[in-house]
Structure 1
C-alpha cells in the first residue's frame, strides 16, 4: 500500500466565525467529505510562533520562535524534515515572509517556493521597490543589485514593483505553480506539501467582483478601498474609525475568504486531474484569527481572545473521511503527531519532544485543555512609537506577555503584569464579561493547571533579536509587522 500524500493548507489570518459565515464551496466540500473540527485553537495569535508550533508540535515557550527570538532554531526537528527522512518528496510554498528560510522554516523541504520572487533567490530586493520612490529607489537598488546574482535581483525587483498582481496576495500564482508542479512531477514518492496562502491577511484588497458580493448596500468598491486599514494608527488613537468602517472591512475580509476559496477549489481540481486527490490527506486550517474592531483592536496582536485563537480546521482523506463535525478540543500543535499517524510514520524520538496530542481517528489520546502563549508584544512599544509617535498609556498596557488556558467551558487569561481574566465561552463567546472575581475557584483551578503544564517541560531559553535583511524587514512592514 502506497503511503498517503499529505497536504497542509494554511489560510493566513482566517478566523473560525467568518469561515463559517462566508459561502465557501471548496472548503465546505472538504469538510463534508472529511471531518470538520469545530473547536480548533491556535497556540499563538500571529504567524511566526503559530507556524513554528505546526512544524514542531511544540508550544512557543518550548520551540522558542516568538517576538523576542524570531527564529525557529535548527535544534527543532520540523515536519518537513521528518517526512523527508521517511522517504517523502517535500514541497513548501509560502506567501508570508515570516515563513521562509531566513527564519528557519525551509528546513527539510526539497523545494521551497517564495511567491514574492519571480526567480527564487536568497536575496530579496522587493522591499526597496515597494518602499522607496524616485532617486531614492534608484540609489537603494544600485547599492544592492550586486548582492548575490545581479540579474536575478533585477528581475525580482521589477517583478515585485510592476508585475505581481496587487489585488492578489499570491493565491492565484500559488495555485498555478502547484498545478504545474502536479502536472509535471515524475517522482514516484508520496509527497508532503505545505502551502501558506496569505489571504485574508491585511490589507484586505479582494478583486472587485468578490467584494461586491459582501459590501454593505450603498458602498462602492472605490469607497471601500478608501476605508483606513492602518491597524497601528487605530490602536494608538491616531486614526478614527466608526462601526460603518468596520462593517466595510469585515465585508472585504469575507470577500478575501471567498476569493481564496475559489483558488482552493482550483487546487483540488489540479489534484484530481493528476490522480492524487484520492491518495491525499488534506488539512485546511488557519494559523490564527483577526480583530476587525473587536475588543477595540485591529490586526492580530496584543491579546489572546478567541477572535485570534479559534480557527477553522477541516481534514479529509484516509481515516478522516466521513467523520462529520467533531467538537473535541484540538490545537495546531496537534498537527505534527496527527499527520505522522496518518502517514504511518513512527519517529519515536520526535514524538517524545512533541507537546501536541494526536487527534487521528485511530488515536486514543485526548486533550482536556487548549493553551495559547503570547511571549511578547509584536510590534514592541518601541517599534510602535517609531510608527505613530507618542504611544498612549492605554496602549503601553499591552507591553506584557500573555498565556491562556481553556477547557470545554471556561477560559483563563493571565498576563505578566498581573492580568487575570476568566470567561465562560458557552454563555459569553465574545468574551465581554470577566468572571475572575465572581468565580475565583474556577480561575484558581485553571491557573493551577496552567502552572502544572509550565512545570512539565524545559523551556527554550533563547532570547534577543535575530538579524534579518533590510529587504525582509521592509516586506514584513509591508504586511503590517513593525520591526
Structure 2
C-alpha cells in the first residue's frame, strides 16, 4: 500500500502473487481523473484549507485492511506448503492521525514545516499509529496461531525509517542520518520460539534480514548478498563490525558509518538542512547525537572516515544494472501524497 514498492517500480519481481492495495483518490476520483489539472488544483485547495482533516484511505490502506487481506490469503490453504509472505504496513508514517480514526491528522504534504510547538502532539499521534498497528499485527499473529502456522514460522518485523520530531531541528524523514530517522526496530522470531525475549547486542542492518531468512530456511546464502546471517540462537558475535547508511533526498546527500562506539555522518556542503560537512558522535555517552566531537577526537574520526570509504566502495560494487524508468500520473499522485515527490 505504498506506491514506492508497487508494480510501477517492478517490486513484484520474483513473487508468484503480488497485491498492491492502492489508496482512494480525493473526491472519489478515478485514475484518469487524477491525471487532470483540475484535480490537482482542487487537491491543493483542500490540503491548504483543511490541512488538519485527513482520510487515511486517501494516503494508504490502514492496518485493518491489510491484515484482512492477508487473513483471506491464508485461508486458501497456506498451511499446505512452505511460503514466503511479505506484508507492508503504512501506519507508522505520516499523516499522523487520531486513532480510532476521526478525521484529525497532519500530513507532510499539507504542512512540510510545522511550528516546533506541535512536536509533542505529532509524536503522540505517531505513537498512537504504532499502537494501532500493533493491535492489527497481533490479530494477524492470532490468525497464524489458529492455523497452526505461528510456531512453525520465522517472522521478522522491521521498518525502513523512523521519524523526526525536532530532535535535531527538523521534521519527518529522509533528510538526515541521525538515529531518530534510521535506527529502526528489528524483531525476529525463529520457528519454535526457542529464544523468546532475547536481546542481541550486536550491530545489524536491513541488509542482514534476507540472508538470515535464507539460512534459517536451510538454503545456501547467495554470494551476491551484502548482508550477514544474524546469530539468532547460538550466542556467536556478529561478523558485522560497522553499519553503513546513505541518503540522497531533497538536496541532502549524506553518508554515515556506525560502530558500537562511534558514528560519523558526512553531508554535502550545500545541503538544505544546514548539516555540518562532517560530524562525529560518541554513541555510548551521547546516544542522542547532540555533541559533535570531531575536533576533539581526530583519531576516531580518521578511523571512521576510512571505514566509511570502504563501505561506500563495497555498496557500489554490489550495485546492479539500472535503467531510467517512468511512472504514470496516478502513481506520481500517490507518491506526492506521502511526501516522496513535490
TM-score if structure 1 supplies the norm length?
A: 0.59
CA contact (8 A) 2:152 2:192 kept: no
Distance 1:256 1:130, change over 3 A: farther
Aligned match of 2:12 in 106, 129, 140? Answer: 106
Aligned to 1:173: 65
Over 3 Å counting, the alpha-carbon distance change for 1:304 and 1:472 in structure 2 is: same
| Structure-2 residue corresponding to 1:408 | 260
* In the alignment, structure 1 residue 370 sits paired with structure 2 residue 222: no
Partner of 1:466: 325
Change in 2 beyond 3 A, CA 1:352/1:266: same
- What is the CA deviation profile of residues 131-169 of structure 1, one whole-angstrom value per residue up to 9, with x for unaligned ones? 9559989xxxxxxxxxxxxxxxxxxxxxxxxx9856974
Match of 1:344 in 2: 218
Corresponding position: 1:248 with 2:248 = no
Aligned CA RMSD, in angstroms, stands at 3.1
**Where does residue 292 of structure 2 map in the other structure?**
434
Structure number with higher relative contact order (C-alpha < 8 Å, ≥ 6 residues apart)? 1
**Alpha carbons 2:335, 2:341 under 8 Å: kept:** yes
Distance (whole Å) between structure 1 residues aligned to residue 171 and residue 15 of structure 2: 34
Residues of 2 paired with 1:471 and 1:110: CA distance?
25
CA contact (8 A) 1:168 1:205 kept: no
CA–CA separation in structure 1 for the residues paired with 2:253 and 2:260: 24
* Alignment pair present for 1:359 and 2:211: no
1:96 maps to what in 2? Answer: 2
Aligned to 2:191: 318
- Please tell me whether the aligned partners of residues 203 and 238 of structure 2 are also in contact (alpha carbons under 8 angstroms): no
Partner in structure 2 of residue 306 of structure 1: 179
The alignment partner of 1:190 has SS state of coil
TM-score by length of 2: 0.82
Between structures 1 and 2, the one with greater helix share: 1
CA gap of 1:127–1:334, structure 2 versus 1, over 3 A, is farther
Runs of 5+ unmatched residues, structure 1 = 1-94, 119-123, 138-162, 210-220, 381-398
- Whether contact under 8 Å (2:263, 2:283) holds in the other structure is yes
Paired position in structure 2 for 1:183: 75
